[in-house]
């Protein structure tokens, strides 16, 4: 299969108000995390940058109510699939033409210290008012300052983690969900020999497997390719 031109951007790991307590567990696993950052929308995060993607540990300050409505009720765990766009406005218009209920482009910003200077990381995001795949939180992100995430210092990890290899989604009907998901990112799923439905992106593989007792789709797990060729399941420490 020819990979899609749509790249995967990042996988969100919802930490709710426990981010500060749980983040050191990932550092003990050998990941290099970015410093704590505060978004203009009130959420906080730390990142595990990889070669062309990253894992975002997302939450809000302990002891305070969440300010972002779309994450306030999200449980701990693997939370969102975020796809990259080079033009957020064009992506918004494409999705709107296709009949999806999508919000206008939203600017997200967070201050950070980069090479000794105070800078502002900026992103334009395209989010759905009604998610197109039941159970999955999906959105698109355009990086206006990618150099603040992907740089040589940030993507070097003691444990040798290099890139996201696969993300596994479990669903009550894998073929239906993979078709819905592929339509959102303008792609085509195919069925692997083991019966799993697969969407090949340029920088990772999305795999949808049937789990009949589920009422909706969910992100089950992710695997990471290491520099020595090992592929290991990512531990979300839940």
CB atoms within 10 A of CB 204: 24
Which among 40, 141, 31, 121 is positioned nearest to 81, based on CA atoms? 141
pLDDT string in tens for the chain (238-residue length): 444 679 999 999 999 999 999 999 999 999 999 999 999 888 999 999 999 999 999 999 999 999 888 899 999 999 999 999 999 999 999 999 999 999 999 999 999 888 889 999 999 999 999 999 999 999 999 999 999 999 888 899 999 999 999 999 999 999 999 999 999 998 889 999 888 899 999 999 999 999 999 999 999 999 999 999 999 999 999 9
Closest to 141 measured CA to CA, from 19, 37, 56, 38: 56
CB of 110 closer than 8 Å to CB of 42:
no
0.85 cut: is pTM over it? yes
**Taking CA 116 as the corner, what is the angle to CA 146 and CA 12, rounded to the nearest 5 degrees?**
40
Query: Are the C-beta atoms of 106 and 88 separated by less than 8 Å?
Result: no
| Contact indicator for 177, 217 with CB cutoff of 8 Å | yes
Strands (E) across 7-96 are located at 8-16, 37-38, 44-49, 54-59, 77-84
Q: Which residues are within 8 A (CB) of 119 and not within 5 positions of it... i.e. 6 or more apart?
A: 111, 112, 113, 145, 148
Q: Which two tokens stand for residue 214?
A: 């589920």
């Amino acid at each position: 299969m020819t990979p899609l031109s749509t790249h995967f951007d990042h996988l969100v790991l919802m930490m709710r108000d426990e981010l500060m307590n749980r983040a050191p567990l990932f550092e003990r696993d050998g990941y290099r995390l970015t410093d704590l950052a505060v978004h203009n929308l009130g959420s906080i995060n730390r990142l595990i940058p990889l070669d062309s993607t990253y894992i975002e540990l997302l939450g809000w300050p302990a002891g305070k109510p969440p300010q972002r409505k779309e994450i306030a009720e999200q449980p701990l765990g693997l939370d969102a699939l975020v796809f990259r766009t080079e033009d957020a406005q064009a992506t918004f218009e494409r999705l709107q033409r296709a009949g999806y209920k999508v919000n206008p482009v939203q600017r997200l910003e967070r201050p950070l210290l980069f090479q000794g200077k105070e800078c502002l990381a900026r992103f334009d995001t395209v989010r759905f008012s009604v998610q197109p795949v039941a159970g999955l939180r999906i959105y698109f992100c355009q990086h206006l300052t990618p150099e603040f995430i992907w740089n040589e210092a940030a993507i070097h990890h003691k444990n040798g983690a290099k890139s996201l290899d696969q993300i596994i989604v479990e669903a009550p009907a894998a073929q239906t969900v993979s078709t819905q998901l592929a339509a959102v990112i303008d792609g085509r799923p195919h069925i692997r020999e083991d019966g799993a439905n697969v969407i090949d992106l340029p920088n990772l593989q999305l795999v949808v497997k049937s789990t009949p007792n589920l009422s909706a789709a969910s992100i089950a797990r992710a695997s990471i390719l290491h520099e020595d060729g090992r592929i290991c399941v990512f531990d979300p420490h839940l």
